[in-house]
Structure 1
Amino acid sequence: MAELIFIEGYPESMRASIARVVETRPRRIGKLPPQMTPKEREEILELCHPDYAPGGKRTVKVGPNRGDLMPNEVADLLEAYPLIEPGRVDLAHPDHDVDILIIGGGLAGTSAALLANDHGIPADRILLANKLRHGDANSMMAQGGTQAADRPQDSPIIHYIDVMGGGHFANKPEVVRRLVEDAPGVVHWLEELGAVFDKDDKGLFVELTGGGTSRRRLHACADYTGMEELRVIRDEFRNRGIPVLEFYPAIELLTDEESKVVGALLWNIETEGYKVVRAKATVLATGGFGRLHIRGFPTTNHYGATYDGPVMAYRAGARLRDTDTVQYHPTGAAYPQQIIGLLLTEKLRTSGAQPLNVKGEEFVFPLEPRDVEAAAFIRECYIRDNGVTSPTGMKGVWLDTPLIDILHGKGSTEKAFPAMVRMFKRFDIDMIKDPVLVFPTLHYQNGGVETDPQGATNIKGLFVAGEVSGGVHGKNRLMGNSTLDCMV
């Protein structure tokens, strides 16, 4: 029997490239490549971004968006038959009759429940149904932060311009306006609930920039922002005694003779039994589609991110928008094999970590918009052939994380990214001393169910919140606007 070899840390085949990173580091400190011009950005997107690659999309054949181009995996789901025919379930005698049914238990769904209660809906007239446990969601995995223009040198107008530019001006303006105007209040609300944001010695927010942003407005809780925000929101939810059904994914929306959504059919994962919920209003907050693994990419997403919400809404007649674009986060883990695709927050680059090729050379401005940055990584690996190859054959580029301590002082990395430092130490990699290997990973569903500023769809009785909604991000989302989007 062949001897099994366990690799700890980086193998010798990668150490030669790391040595070049160390060698070039002194001359790179304080120097960055120039930002791309708008023309250069469009050229690299068309050349290297997966959205532009042939063969991965087709037009959907049925429904309100018939003829629209979208990923094959999405079109397949929208064209599929329902899991169950309504005639097989007794809809005349609902198991629950509530004012508001919320489907999804991440930041968006849990926030919606609290806000409904704040506006006069009694707790016992609200029902939250979640596919897994309450809080098992992409929200729990969000790292970077939440954008809010709350400094004298910033404003919602500047935030608005950044969001529109990042989305290639395909965004829905009135929805973007709601996002940026509500943002400072969202951060204040989270603080009142007990969220602990990063602050300086004077008690002021430590605010950072992100790719495609022109001001420092990112409010972070170390590198586990989503977990901290969901912690305080879920605690408040539980304190109010709002009912929740766990392990009860919705499999179909229910409509009346006037096509109004009047609730949903739920299915219990454990017992395989059904529950009928009648509701005056239904809120979809089911998150994204990372687990469809569009074009075969790994993903940052939670196991529950399977596009349930838009599919159910589409069958009920809701329109979708911006379904032709997918966000691939530039810095997904590319080594070791056990964590491929997991998110390495943009905050690393905000803090000074530089993307480098196999020669230890810079090749792109670190904070281009995410779609442009991801395309530049792909070009470096597969067109210029300057990528680093792991023992499994996967290509990637270095992210020079040791620069963070060099630029900000010893201990800065461990203070700002404690969860990530621990994650890499499990594999005998010290990201404070050595760079980490990264490659784009499927991260976010840019589009979704079209909504107005109040979250209403074109179907009466149906509302959407968070990543399931479409319009606010256009063709590309900026860092820190996803957690914000969940709470406005």
Structure 2
Amino acid sequence: MSYPEKMRESIRILESTREKRRKQEIPLLSLQERNELIKTYHPQHREGTQRKLKVGVNKGQLVPNEIADLFESKSLIDPNEVDLDHPDYQTDVLVVGGGGGGASAALVAQENGADVILITKLRFGDSNTIMSEGGIQAAVDEFDSPALHYLDTMGGGGFVNIPELVKALVLDAPEVLKWLIDLGVMFDRTDNERNILSSFAGGQCRRRVHSCADYSGLDMMRILRDEVYNRGIEVIEFLPAVELILDDNRTCCGVVAVDLETEKKFVIVAKAVILATGGSGRLHYQNFPTTNHYGATGDGLVIANRAGAKIIFMDAIQFHPTGTLYPEHLFGLLVTEAFRGWGAHLVNSEGERFINELEKRDITASAIIREVDYKKKGVCTPTGREGVWLDTPLVEIINGKGTIKRIFPHLHHRFQGFGIDITREPLLVYPTIHYQNGGILINQEGESSVKDLFVAGEASGGVHGRNRLGGNSLLDIFVFGRRAGKNAALRAKRKKIGKLTLEHVIDYERQLKEMGILREIPSPVLIPDYRFGKAL
């Protein structure tokens, strides 16, 4: 396939300015400039794309229309038809979700004496974890510290992050890194093989991201999945949770789940539940593409909201600056931030840089949208989509031949299959939905506002504020997956389950009917609907 001639003309302009750009210093924007850029150009500030919730514990919260639609929909089940007196499974701790957060929670819960069942909507491991390329943050280098990691994370989130959660994140980070190494994760090493390699991500004051080439999440998930199986933890695939079960004390006591193949309903009773259901990128907010895996449809948010769990920052969706725009077979594919950390420039149609490449993600995404949609300096594909160049060959020029194949083998291979050699040719990129900054509000133990309902990973909210830094997502799932696993196991030891009920589902639908906003399309939406050109 490679690039058509018209796009190659633009590449020649990029190549002609490369040496000039290498000498150019673009300062970081001032706080005022950053705020103005985001307010004017970031998708979350587009008029009419969000609305306030009208019922439930989260009444008044501003959320994307796509989330509000799900929150205002009827349940996938009829609560009156579910037999709660004869459960299909019973356990101490039920983990819902088969990504890194769920796997780490299951392992630690078992280590703390709990019987554990893990259910997952798709295959065990199908998750945003395996899509993660860039790596994991941990302050372990000589001139770094958890204090600096804390300040970077708070600044990245707009200083609205919950401080106690950020403190837990950065203090647990070195221990999490050692835990992963002890389990067998193969991090990139320096030339002498003695130290773990560290790289930059946007918004960092130190090199702090540790990677496994650009397969970081995939390698971690491979290790964790094997560990779960080796320890004999029961895993049930293709069984998504569609409602939470409470008892008459309003504590969480399990889920109603539905087999994707047979549509049979299962009642699973547990003394504590850990939601690790991931994000919601497959809702395709504002019809943007996404880097997310197929099952990222916000299930955990929907059922937790009905059960009375508070949410936070759900109006803040992260758009990764560099999603693939061409070839269109890879539309939305993540091009890791690490490329910019290793020296790649963002370049418009006139061969110009227009932003410091190590600005935070929300800043950089907004700058690209301004450059393409407002300044009209985008590079056009044969189908009319426009983006900017990511000058990947600079990585080889700056760091030596072979760097890309060594650090980014996955992306090198993916694009090579379409005749694009990223060691010699740039990539065309545009912002893509990447991460759910907010979610279900948790405390330091990983517990939600509903007693005995714990949440880990992207389904949770509070730690990242309004914008997550690169490398903090993999860290988040393991820090709070492990914390949720431990605390859920301890809680299960002293839990006495009361009378089981789904009355909260009935009551929530009643409130929607009284407001005249109950939608007949049921939620959660377990599988995205791509018929008739929807979403893309």
TM-score (norm 2): 0.88
Asked whether 1:269 is paired with 2:260, we answer yes
Distance 2:354 2:389 in 1: 11
One-letter code of the match for 1:356?
Answer: V
Q: Secondary structure at the match of 1:207?
A: coil
1:158 corresponds to which of 148, 155, 158: 148
Specify the code of the residue in structure 2 equivalent to 1:138: N
Q: Deviations over 1:399-429 (max 9, x none)?
A: 0000011111111011111010111011111
Measured after TM superposition, the shift of residue 201 of structure 1 is 2.2
Unaligned runs of 5+ in 1: 1-7
Residue in structure 1 matched with residue 139 of structure 2 by the alignment: 149
Q: Which residue of 2 aligns with 1:5?
A: none
From 28, 40, 56, the equivalent of 2:33 is: 40
Q: CA deviation at 1:238?
A: 0.9
Identify which of 455, 458, 472 aligns with 2:449: 458
Contact 1:400 1:434 in 2 (8 A): yes
Other-structure match for 1:3 = none
Measured in 2, the distance between the counterparts of 1:193 and 1:30 equals 43
1:137 aligns with 2:130: no
Q: 2:410 aligns with which of 384, 401, 419?
A: 419
C-alpha displacement of 1:142: 0.3
In structure 2, the partner of 1:322 is 313
Equivalent positions of 1:58-73 (< 5 A) are 58-73=51-66
One-letter amino acid matched to 1:430: D
Counterparts of residues 156-235 of structure 1 (less than 5 Å): 156-202=146-192, 203-235=194-226
In 2, are the aligned partners of 1:114 and 1:237 still within 8 Å (CA)?
A: yes
Secondary structure at the counterpart of residue 332 of structure 1: strand
Q: 1:349 aligns with which of 313, 320, 340?
A: 340
CA distance in 2 between counterparts of 1:236 and 1:15 reads 48
Counterparts of 1:278 and 1:400 in 2: how far apart (Å)?
A: 53
Q: Distance in 2 between matches of 1:276 and 1:65?
A: 27
Write the distance in 2 (CA, Å) between the matches of 1:54 and 1:178.
36
C-alpha distance in 2 between matches for 1:55 and 1:461? 36
> Which shifted more, 223-232 or 23-32?
23-32
Matched, 1:380 2:359: no
Distance 2:437 2:102 in 1: 18
Match of 1:24 in 2: 17
Q: Secondary structure at the match of 2:166?
A: helix
| Residue aligned with 2:17, SS | helix
* 2:491 aligned residue: none
Q: For structure 2, which runs of at least 5 residues remain unmatched after alignment?
A: 480-536
Tell me the CA shift for residue 33 of structure 1. Answer: 1.4
Q: Percent identity?
A: 50
Q: Is the 8 A contact 1:451 1:469 kept in 2?
A: yes
Give distance in 2, aligned partners of 1:32 and 1:212.
17
Question: Displacement, 1:169?
Answer: 0.8
Among 354, 362, 374, the alignment partner of 2:353 is 362
1:99 Cα deviation from its structure 2 partner: 0.1
SS of 1:486's equivalent in the other structure is: helix
Q: How many residues align?
A: 478
Native 8 Å contact 1:198 1:219 kept in 2: yes
Matched residue SS, 1:440: strand
What is the correspondence of 1:388-399 to structure 2 with a 5 Å cutoff?
Answer: 388-399=379-390
Secondary structure of the corresponding residue to residue 81 of structure 1 = strand
3-state SS in 2 of match to 1:279 = strand
Q: Please state if 1:105 is matched with 2:98.
A: yes
- Residue 470 of structure 2 aligns with which residue? 479
Contact 1:299 1:342 in 2 (8 A): yes
**Alpha-carbon distance in 1 for matches of 2:37, 2:260:** 44
Aligned counterpart in structure 2 of residue 434 of structure 1, from 407, 411, 425: 425
Q: Which of 60, 63, 68 is the aligned partner of 1:75?
A: 68
**Cα shift at 1:30:** 4.7
Q: How far did 1:152 drift?
A: 2.2
Paired letter, 1:49: H
Residue 4 of structure 1 corresponds to none
- Contact kept, 8 Å, 1:337 with 1:392, in 2: the verdict is no
SS in 1 for 2:205: coil
